[in-house]
Amino acid sequence: MAAKSKSKRVLPATEVKNRFGQVLGEIARTGGPIIVERGGKPVAVILGIEAYERLRPTGRDRRALALEGFGLWADRTDIDDDWLTRGRARWRSEWADA
């Protein structure tokens, strides 16, 4: 197969297409990632399912992101979709008048 670095494997899209079964076998053994290039530019990444699952946000991850983005506001129970919709409507109308 094509170019290989220490931490990631890079393959052209045509090679992935032509040897898809072998690529899947490698992913099953190593977990990946394999970077797929088209025209010499990276366009996709193939990961093992375990690596993919680690990247998916969980409820705890979303809370951590909310705390990072909103600080103490992240725990407020009165902030829901309706509250956000009313706020956005107010902000749009104020910006339109400016």
Phi-psi region of 3 (alpha: psi -120 to 50; beta: other; left: phi over 0): beta
pLDDT tens series, the chain, 98 aa: 544 434 579 999 999 999 999 999 999 999 889 999 999 999 999 999 888 888 876 666 666 666 667 776 767 777 777 877 787 777 755 555 54
Sign of CA dihedral 7, 10, 15, 20: positive
Go through the chain and tell me how many residues it has: 98
Asked if 52 contacts 62 with a C-beta cutoff of 8 angstroms, the reply is no
Asked if 45 contacts 71 with a C-beta cutoff of 8 angstroms, the reply is no
* Edge-to-edge strand list for the sheet holding 9-12: 9-12, 34-38, 41-46
What is the CATH number assigned to the segment(s) 9-53?
A: 3.40.1620.10
Q: Is the pTM of this model over 0.75?
A: no
Domain with CATH 3.40.1620.10 in the chain: 9-53
